[in-house]
A = this chain, B = another copy of it.
Amino acid sequence: MIRVQREIFDVGAEMAALTKGRTDIGAVVSFTGLVRDFNDGSAVTGFSLEHYPGMTERELAKIETEAKARWDLQASLIIHRYGDMALGEPIVLVVTASSHRQDAFDAANFLMDWLKTKAPFWKMEKGEDGETSWVKERQTDIDAAKRWSADSQE
């Protein structure tokens, strides 16, 4: 399940909804990305995310489908926000549920790595001086995403 929204979301409520009423799920892993007050050593005072409506949903759906093909998942959820966000607010949530602990961990890790390099979102930060700047891609994110390509089923 994927959702792209401007509104803030409640991590706990989303996780609870995914497993509510189910007694067949043994392991749930979540990743939450939050707006930090610093980045690369500089103070961040404001934060905004632009995205490409339409393509965002397509890419997230493709990534989720790939995760379901690679791991034994009973449920999964990706929520990604766009627009203005306050410091400390959640930006993204990935939840994976599986019978197997390692499947849930690996799938969540994979979803984040691929999302980081494929989903069309762009972060803009405001610094202490009030200047806004577009965040640059990180080599560590590129490298992290490549880990999953060696055993790609594509």
Residues of A at the B interface (CB closer than 8 Å) are 10-13, 15-16, 19, 21-38, 87-88, 99, 101-102, 104-105, 108-109, 112, 144
Query: Which of B26, B31, B144 is within 8 Å of A34, CB to CB?
Result: B26
| Chain B, residue nearest A16 (CB) | B12
**From B29, B36, B37, B88, contact of A30 by CB (8 A):** B29
- A11 contact from B15, B37, B105, B109, Cβ within 8 A: B15
| Interchain CB contact under 8 A, B88 and A22 | yes
How many angstroms from the CA of A10 to the CA of B25 in the assembled complex?
A: 17
In the bound complex, what is the Cα–Cα distance between A10 and B99 (angstroms)?
Answer: 21
Of A10, A99, A108, which is in contact with the most chain B CB atoms at under 10 Å from its CB? A108
